[in-house]
Amino acid sequence: MKQVIQDLRTRELKVADVPQPVAQRGRVLVRTAASLISAGTERMTVEMASKSLLGKARERHRQGQRLDGLALTIEGDSTSDPNVGQYLLGIRGGIQGMNGVGERYLLVASTLPTPYDHPGYAYATMSRFCQVFAPMVYWRATGLPQYSGPDGTRAYVDQVFQQFRDPGVNPFNRPLTITAQAYDAALEYGTPGAPPGAEIVTSMNETRAQGGLSWSFYRLANADNGVTGEEQQAITTFPFWQRYSAGGIAGKALIALPDQPVAY
């Protein structure tokens, strides 16, 4: 059958011969009598694809699709200054040919979890430019037996919060929302086995006890290392909690502090 294909990068449009779809078990195959192409819709799609990340955010906002902030993963070979400072300054203030997001737009810094183990990592600079830290709290990825089980999970989460209270690490006292572990760390030479439900629940309880804003859970992209049934039940049945504060945090546990300006 014929299919119209467009390369969103080059904008090249072509009609290609593609295999006929096959009816699959449990699905419905619909016979198409006629097809129409909306020039306006397709043009908008191509124009959106050609925009930068920040450009996409602004365009979606104009279309009524609100994007409240950006989460920036800071890891790899360029995690020290001046690289991190220049990167974040460019996002806030803009670079040649592209406007920045401004001072009050929410930026979340997704970081390594234990600052004391990474002395060259630019935590203080991230504290200056970002409103929230989201450390990757993967307790079993350490491979250390003392960080297994509910008590070990609690000890690791406590250690993360304690180190981020250090003014040398977090001089602007940015709050934390942890990215917790929901995968088997054996592939990373960590403690084998996906975190049991008791560890998942402990990570959420301790985040709340330590004053964290919220949490999310990370799993590896490999489909064979997804969230287990036990992990899913622990996450989905956890009692929803609310945090009230005069500091402008919404009643529901959001990671956003929209009224907290970035300090320069």
Residue spans per domain, the chain = 1-50, 69-236
Q: What is the pLDDT of residue 180?
A: 93
Q: What is the pLDDT of residue 75?
A: 87
Q: What is the pLDDT of residue 9?
A: 65
**116-174 confidence digits (pLDDT tens):** 999 999 999 999 999 999 999 999 999 999 999 999 999 999 999 999 999 999 999 99
Regarding predicted confidence, which is higher, 22 or 165?
Answer: 165
> pTM of this prediction?
0.69
Regarding predicted confidence, which is higher, 77 or 254?
Answer: 77
pLDDT at 53 over 70: no
pLDDT at 250 over 50: no
Mean pLDDT of all residues in 12-26: 80
Q: What is the pLDDT of residue 142?
A: 95
Mean pLDDT of all residues in the chain? 81
SS3 per-residue string spanning the chain: CEEEEECCCCCCEEEEECCCCCCCCCCCCCCCCCCCCCHHHHHHHHHHHCCCHHHHHHHHHHCCCCCCEEEEECCCCCCCCCHHHHHHHHHHHEECCEECCCCCCEEEEEECCCHHHCCCCCHHHHHHHCCEEEEEECHHHHCCHHHCHHHHHHHHHHHHHHHHCCCCCCCCCCCECEEEECCCHHHHCCCCCCCCHHHHHHHHHHHHHCCCCCEEEECCCCHHHCCCHHHHHHHHCCCCCECCCCCCCCCECCCCCCCCCCCC
